[in-house]
Amino acid sequence: MKDRRKELEKRREELVRRMSGLSPWIQGSVVVVKRVCGQKGCACHRGGKKHPAMYLTGKEEGRTVSIYVPRKMEAEARVWAGNYKKLKALIREVSEVQREILKLREEEWPSTIVRSAWRSSGRSTG
C-alpha cells in the first residue's frame, strides 16, 4: 500500500515538473480563415483567391471572441495554444493521481476510525 502511494506521489511530482516546463500558454484555438484584404484593386475583391488570416478564438464571459494574430506571431500563437492543451491534459492526469491517492487513504483508514476521530474533535458527522 505504501509502495503504491510512493509510486503515485512520484508520478504526481513528475507531472508537476512537466507542467512547469510549459510556458507560455494561452487559452483558445488557432483558426485560419480566408478573407478579403483591404486593397481595393486586389483580385480577392473580384471573386479571386482570398487571403488566409489567423485568429485565436476563445470564450470570454460566455461569448466567442476572436483575436487577429499577426503573421509574425503565427508560429508563437500555435505553440502557446498547444502548450495550453498540454497543460490541461497534465492537470487532468494530476487530478487522477490525486484521486488514486485519496482512494488509498480511504483503504488505509477504516471509516469507523475516521468517524470516531471526527466525533472526538467536537465536529458533527451530520
Find all residues with CB under 8 Å of 51, minimum gap 6, and list them.
Answer: 34, 35, 36, 37, 44
* Count: domains in the chain: 1
Assess if residue 26 is contained within a domain. Answer: yes
Residue written as cell 488505509?
108
Assess if residue 124 is contained within a domain. Answer: no
Contact 37, 51 (CB under 8 A): yes
Assess if residue 64 is contained within a domain. Answer: yes
Assess if residue 86 is contained within a domain. Answer: yes
Cell of 65: 471572441
Assess if residue 125 is contained within a domain. Answer: no
Contact 51, 75 (CB under 8 A): no
Assess if residue 88 is contained within a domain. Answer: yes
pLDDT tens digits along 21-55:
899 999 999 999 999 988 999 999 998 999 999 99
pLDDT tens digits along 107-121:
666 555 555 555 666
Cα of first residue to Cα of last residue in the chain, in angstroms, is: 30
Cell of 8: 503515485
Assess if residue 79 is contained within a domain. Answer: yes
What is the overall mean pLDDT for the chain? 88
- Give pLDDT, residue 105: 76
Between 59-68, 71-80, 105-114, the lowest mean confidence (pLDDT) is in: 105-114
Contact 50, 44 (CB under 8 A): yes
Residue 25: which domain range?
A: 2-119
SS3 (DSSP) at 98 = helix
